[in-house]
Chains A and B, each alone.
Chain A
Amino acid sequence: AQSVAQPEDQVNVAEGNPLTVKCTYSVSGNPYLFWYVQYPNRGLQFLLKYITGDNLVKGSYGFEAEFNKSQTSFHLKKPSALVSDSALYFCAVSGHTGGFKTIFGAGTRLFVKA
């Protein structure tokens, strides 16, 4: 069965510092990988996705993610965090194993301190 794990419930970082939100996955064949962000009382918004090609994917609001096939990871990164980046972040994966249904991780709450 396909699965996705976000090992950290919460990540705290100071404004201006780099941030990383971790995601690992398990899927048969080549995965499709996504990051979504949820602000309070809002629905999820798409940030970026990996389908194929360059392992470093750039997305909205200065975020990027690196696909690492050997480590089955797709960590979300940003070089310099902003207070406004504070939100709930979801990693998602789909692949052959699950009939290309999308599975979401449990979410990681990011707090950026001023």
Chain B
Amino acid sequence: NAGVTQTPKFQVLKTGQSMTLQCAQDMNHNSMYWYRQDPGMGLRLIYYSASEGTTDKGEVPNGYNVSRLNKREFSLRLESAAPSQTSVYFCASSEAGQGRNIQYFGAGTRLSVL
């Protein structure tokens, strides 16, 4: 079972470059999420999609955009990368919204912005 698949696993960007992080889930989940993980800060929600066709801002949305392409796929775009966006990015999905539902995570994308 693939679960949640993220690509790429690693990426190095120069300041000002753009890139898209891809995420796909095969569990027929309605809700999908993008988090960033920084040392000592846990996971912070960037954007989420409660269901296909909807997206909402999370705790730290500035500098990011998202697209819920279909029920399976949820991409995260950095239009003009900044060193402050150096982080590990995780995509997750859940059967329905947050609250009582378990979230399933991908393996992460390690991004360095120079």
Contacts and interface: CB of A to CB of B under 8 A. Distances in A.
A24 interface: no
Given A43-B106, A44-B90, A106 B40 contact: yes
Interface string B76-100: 0000000000000010100001111
Contacts of A102: 45, 98-99, 103
Contacts of A100: 97-99
A67 interface: no
Contact of A46 (B35, B58, B102): B102
A49 interface: yes
Given A90-B43, A106-B42, A107-B42, A43 B90 contact: yes
B43 A104 contact: yes
A101 B98 contact: yes
Interface string A72-114: 0000000000000000001000100000111011110000000
Interface in A17-55: 32, 34, 36, 41-46, 49, 51
Nearest to B91: A43
Contacts of B19: none
Give the most central of B90, B92, B102, B104: most A CB within 10 Å.
B102
Given A41-B107, A43-B105, A104 B42 contact: yes
Contact of B100 (A49, A90, A106): A49
B100 A42 contact: no
A105 B104 CA distance: 17
Given A43-B4, A43-B108, A45-B105, A106 B41 contact: yes
B105 A32 contact: no
26 contacts: A9-B40, A32-B100, A34-B102, A41-B108, A42-B107, A42-B108, A43-B4, A43-B90, A44-B43, A44-B90, A46-B102, A46-B103, A49-B100, A51-B100, A90-B42, A94-B98, A94-B99, A100-B97, A101-B45, A102-B45, A102-B103, A104-B43, A104-B44, A105-B42, A106-B41, A106-B42
Interface of B: 4, 35, 40-45, 58, 90, 92, 97-100, 102-108
